[in-house]
């Protein structure tokens, strides 16, 4: 997408607005599949939680992806987007047995990550294929806020509990057709990821009827100039070789599965905002925009950095700005960032706004969630309307407060 097109989108659809580039999503998908072209069977299950707009899901289906879901609502979105239930894997955490059973009845692949539910589900539904999520106790990412492979993580069944898993499987005679792990986001060290993979291979040897091994995802994308990213080509070469070797040892070909979210959509997204006020204090110049952490919470929640550029004045002299929002809280997007000179009314663009941005938006301060636009074949398509005041009120129920009738307790004097 050219900056001129982004400016036109801001003019046509207003701000704030999320914009996604379908071509960039396709490029990332093709890059991943090319990196693992040497495996017998590759399955890319897009992580719906990253960006769940139904038009984006339809694009993923067109590319050939399946879906990784974490809630029954995400499953329903996938079905509404045209996915077959068989191409959806359900990997929840902390949900009820009833929710898992409901999804299983739809025909989706079930992935269970705790011993209690594994035993209950296996006892009631021994013939239903189940994948088991393992916690390898390996952190391949660099941020503890988004790493899920550490020993105190709520995700997955500890590798130290393999004997418990085997006992449950033996007692229930349940059908285990997959093994899964996810170490967390922002994988920095491929060798550490490969080490965790070896733990998964060792675990897989305990199960004789596997169809696939799911290595999760968490591939890092660059957030600023010079930022490091996961070398997906190197990972593809090394893991493919080891996976093919394991399949020979196992005695049959298996499917290698991934569940990327950020890798596919993060760099495809731009978040456009309008500058309401440029405010000079004794020490800081604030650019206050028509958004806040109600629309983009990642900088405040995870400390993530999104490159910010001034679309309206790209060649202007760079100055230092703190870009902040209009929420009645501290909602800082950037501190003392060098940006081309900003004036009130300028349009700023936040890069890497495709993953975990709109999907984590809220109505805090009773603000409307923004619109979403998908650029497909060079044309901008509105894929979500901006909310209105009617949307704010939609599910609220008003109580009719009527004055309470009070009985008089005044005693009358009676003369005899």
Q: Which residues belong to the annotated binding site for pyridoxal 5'-phosphate?
A: 218, 356
What is the largest distance, in Å, between two alpha-carbon atoms of the chain?
Answer: 111
116 and 122 in contact (C-beta within 8 Å)? no
E strand map for 200-295? 212-214, 255-258, 269-280, 285-289
CA distance 120 to 395: 35
List, in sequence order, every residue forming a beta bridge with 255; answer none if it has no partner. Answer: 41, 212
CA distance 408 to 171: 71
Beta-carbon contacts of residue 258 (< 8 Å; ≥ 6 apart): 32, 42, 43, 44, 45, 214, 215, 216, 217
Annotated binding site for substrate: 298, 302, 329, 356
Task: Let me know if 328 is a catalytic residue.
Answer: yes
164 and 115 in contact (C-beta within 8 Å)? yes
Cis ω on the peptide bond leading into residue 16 (within 30° of 0)? Answer: yes
CA distance 39 to 247: 10
16 and 370 in contact (C-beta within 8 Å)? yes
Q: What is the number of residues in the chain?
A: 416
Three-state secondary structure call for residue 3 = helix
User: Of these residues, 108, 131, 247, 328, which one is catalytic?
Assistant: 328
- Alpha-carbon distance values, 356 to 27, 48, 49, 144 (Å): 19, 10, 7, 17
CA distance 112 to 125: 13
| Closest to 155 in 3D by CA, of 175, 190, 185, 119 | 185
Distance between alpha carbon 95 and the CA centroid of its chain, in Å? 18
CA distance 58 to 160: 40
Beta-carbon contacts of residue 93 (< 8 Å; ≥ 6 apart): 70, 113, 154, 155
- As annotated, the active-site residues are 328
């Amino acid at each position: 997408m050219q900056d001129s097109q982004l400016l036109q989108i801001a003019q046509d659809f207003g701000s704030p607005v999320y914009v996604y580039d379908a071509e960039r999503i396709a490029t990332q998908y093709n890059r991943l599949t090319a990196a693992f072209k040497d495996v017998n069977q590759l399955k890319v299950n897009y992580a719906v939680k990253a960006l769940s707009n139904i038009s984006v899901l339809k694009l993923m289906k067109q590319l050939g992806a399946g879906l990784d879901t974490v809630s029954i609502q995400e499953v329903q979105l996938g079905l509404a987007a045209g996915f077959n239930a068989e191409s959806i894997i359900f990997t929840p955490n902390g949900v009820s047995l009833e929710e898992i059973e409901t999804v299983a009845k739809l025909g989706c692949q079930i992935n269970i990550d705790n011993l209690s539910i594994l035993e209950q589900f296996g006892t009631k539904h021994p013939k239903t294929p189940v994948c088991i999520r393992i916690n390898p106790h390996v952190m391949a990412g660099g941020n503890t806020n988004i790493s899920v492979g550490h020993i105190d993580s709520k995700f997955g069944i500890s590798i130290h509990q393999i004997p418990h898993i085997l006992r449950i499987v033996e007692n229930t005679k349940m059908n285990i057709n997959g093994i899964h792990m996810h170490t967390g986001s922002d994988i920095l060290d491929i060798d550490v990821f490969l080490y965790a993979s070896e733990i998964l291979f060792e675990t897989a040897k305990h199960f004789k009827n596997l169809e696939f091994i799911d290595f999760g995802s968490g591939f890092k994308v660059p957030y600023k100039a010079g930022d490091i990213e996961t070398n997906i080509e190197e990972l593809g070469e090394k893991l493919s070789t080891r996976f093919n070797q394991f399949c020979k040892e196992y005695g049959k070909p298996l499917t290698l599965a991934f569940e990327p979210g950020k890798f596919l959509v993060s760099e495809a997204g731009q978040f456009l905002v309008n500058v309401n006020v440029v405010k000079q204090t004794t020490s800081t110049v604030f650019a206050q925009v028509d958004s806040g952490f109600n629309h983009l919470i990642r900088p405040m929640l995870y400390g993530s950095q999104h490159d910010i550029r001034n679309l309206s004045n790209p060649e202007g002299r760079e100055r230092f700005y703190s870009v902040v929002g209009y929420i009645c809280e501290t909602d800082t997007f950037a501190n003392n960032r060098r940006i081309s000179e900003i004036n009130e009314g300028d349009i700023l663009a936040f890069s890497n706004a495709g993953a975990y941005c709109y999907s984590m938006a809220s109505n805090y301060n009773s603000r409307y969630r923004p619109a979403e636009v998908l650029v497909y074949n060079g044309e901008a398509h509105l894929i979500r309307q901006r909310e209105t005041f009617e949307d704010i009120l939609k599910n609220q129920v008003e109580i009719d407060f009527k004055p309470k009738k009070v009985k008089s307790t005044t005693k009358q004097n009676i003369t005899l």
